[in-house]
Amino acid sequence: MKLKVGVVGCGGVAQRWHLPALSKISESWPSKQGIEFVACCDLIQEKADAVAKQYGVRPYTDPGRMLAEEELDLVMVLTREQDRARAAITALKAGVNVFCEKAISDSIQKAEEMVRVAAEMNCALGVNFNYRFSPPYMKLKEMISSGKLGEPCFISFLSHGDCYHHIIDLNRYFMGEVKKVYARYLIEKDRAFILGERWLYTASRFKMVTFEFENGFAGDILGSDYMSYSHPLVSCTYAGTKGRATIPDIVGKVIYMPNDGEVTVWRPSFLEKRDFSITFENSIRAFIEAILRKEKPPVTGLDGLRALQIEEAILLSQEKGIPVKPY
Considering only 3, 21, 25, 41, the residue that binds ligand NAD (CB under 6 A) is 41
β-strands 243-247, 198-201: how paired? unpaired
Which of 103/239 has CB closer to ligand NAD? 103
Say if CB 300 and CB 125 are below 8 A apart: yes
Judged by CB under 6 A, does residue 2 bind ligand NAD?
Answer: no
In the complex, minimum distance from the CB of residue 117 to ligand NAD, in angstroms, rounded to a whole number: 16
Q: Which of 6, 19, 39, 42 binds ligand NAD (CB under 6 A)?
A: 42
Under the binding rule (CB under 6 A), the answer on residue 83 touching ligand NAD is yes
3-state secondary structure 194-220: EECCEEEECCEEEEEEEEEECCCCEEE
Which residues lie below 8 Å from residue 95, measured CB to CB, with a gap of 6+? 121, 123
Does 63 bind ligand NAD (CB under 6 A)? Our answer is: yes
- Determine if 87 is a binding residue for ligand NAD (CB under 6 A): yes
Query: Within 13 Å of residue 209, how many CA atoms lie on the same side as its CB?
Result: 34
- Residue 169 as a binder of ligand NAD (CB under 6 A): the answer is no
Helix, strand or coil for residue 154?
strand
The residue number with the shortest CB distance to ligand NAD is 11
> What is the smallest separation between the CB atom of 39 and ligand NAD, expressed in angstroms?
12
Answer for which of 26, 130, 204, 318 binds ligand NAD (CB under 6 A) is 130
* 157 CA to centre of own chain: 16
In the set 28, 33, 36, 44, which binds ligand NAD (CB under 6 A)?
A: 44
Could you tell me the smallest distance in angstroms from the CB atom of residue 276 to ligand NAD? 8
Nearer to ligand NAD, 21 or 118 (CB): 21
CB 168 within 8 A of CB 311: yes
Residues 144 and 261: beta-carbon distance below 8 Å:
no
Q: Among 51, 57, 79, 171, indicate the residue that binds ligand NAD (CB under 6 A).
A: 79
Environment class of residue 262 by beta-carbon count within 10 Å: exposed (0-12), middle (13-18) or buried (19+)?
Answer: exposed
Please choose, out of 4-12, 29-37, 108-116, 174-182, the segment that lies near ligand NAD by the rule CB under 6 A. 4-12
Q: What is the DSSP string of 69-110?
A: HS--SEEEE-S-GGGHHHHHHHHHHTT-EEEEESSS-SSHHH
Chain residues binding ligand NAD by CB under 6 A are: 8-14, 41-44, 47, 63, 78-81, 83, 87, 101-102, 128, 130
